[in-house]
Homo-oligomer: A and B are copies of this chain.
């Protein structure tokens, strides 16, 4: 048996790889719409335009299916540049984060992040996403601290202070998240960190 799912996935041009990509994409859309537990394999198959058995055969475990689908989302998350201008880079980061949280992939991820998933598989994906965001911030902050632009600060706390309000506002969906919103959040948080860190 050389036709295991993982090996098949490594043949990007093949029909099987295409089917897998369609299934993962459909899964993300359904999680975005109904939450992690709120979709059926039949719906995935229908939305992906494949036979139900293709879903069951490749992902007999639904938590593995959700985990793998969300991991694909995580890999395309907002980047964090280092131009030397910390405020500018953080504002860009928050704007990109808001944009990606507002699309179906981001909505799926918000569902997963906010729902304390019971499945170890989905939990692992959520942890990876959060760790990646904190790592991105930590590297950017280390550079700012090195340049004396910022006192040493807990990257996890700063990540939550910056991205928490973005999550809430995008989730609320009452008006678009603007660059001015990102600037106000960044300014308050940076000033607050500078004023409270010894």
CB-CB under 8 A for A171 and B114, given A161-B185, A165-B164, A188-B196: yes
Q: Which residue among A111, A130, A188, A195 has the maximum number of chain B CB atoms within 10 Å of its CB? A: A188
Q: Would you call A35 an interface residue if the criterion is a C-beta within 8 Å of the partner chain's C-beta atoms?
A: yes
Determine if A113 and B172 form an interchain contact, defined as CB atoms under 8 angstroms apart. Answer: yes
Q: Tell whether A160 pairs with B168 under 8 Å between CB atoms, given A114-B114, A188-B189, A191-B192.
A: yes
Residues of B within 8 A of A113 (CB): 168, 171-172
Residue of B whose beta carbon sits closest to that of A34: B37
Please tell me if the beta carbons of A163 and B168 are within 8 angstroms of each other in the complex: yes
When A and B form their complex, which 6 residue pairs have the shortest distance between CB atoms, in order from nearest? A164-B164, A35-B35, A38-B38, A192-B192, A188-B192, A191-B195
Partner of A191, one of B111, B130, B164, B191: B191
Interface membership of chain A positions 166-183, coded 1 if the CB is closer than 8 angstroms to chain B and 0 otherwise: 111101111000000000
Per-residue CB contact flags for chain A residues 150-164 toward chain B (1 = under 8 Å, else 0) read 000000010011011
Q: List 18 A-B contacts (CB under 8 A).
A: A34-B35, A34-B37, A35-B111, A36-B38, A107-B116, A110-B115, A111-B114, A116-B172, A130-B172, A160-B169, A160-B185, A164-B164, A164-B166, A164-B168, A187-B196, A189-B192, A191-B191, A192-B195
* Residue A33 interfacial (CB < 8 Å): yes
Contact of A38 among B35, B130, B166, B167 (CB under 8 A): B35
> How many Å from the CB of A43 to the closest CB on chain B?
11
Q: Give the CA-CA distance A48 to B130 in the complex, in Å.
A: 36
Interface residues of A (CB under 8 A from B): 33-39, 107, 110-111, 113-116, 126-127, 130, 157, 160-161, 163-169, 171-174, 184-185, 187-196
B-chain residues with CB within 8 Å of residue A168 when the two chains form the complex: 113, 160, 163-164, 167
Chain B residue numbers with a CB within 8 Å of A160 are 164-165, 168-169, 185
Query: Nearest chain B CB to A187's CB is how many angstroms away?
Result: 5
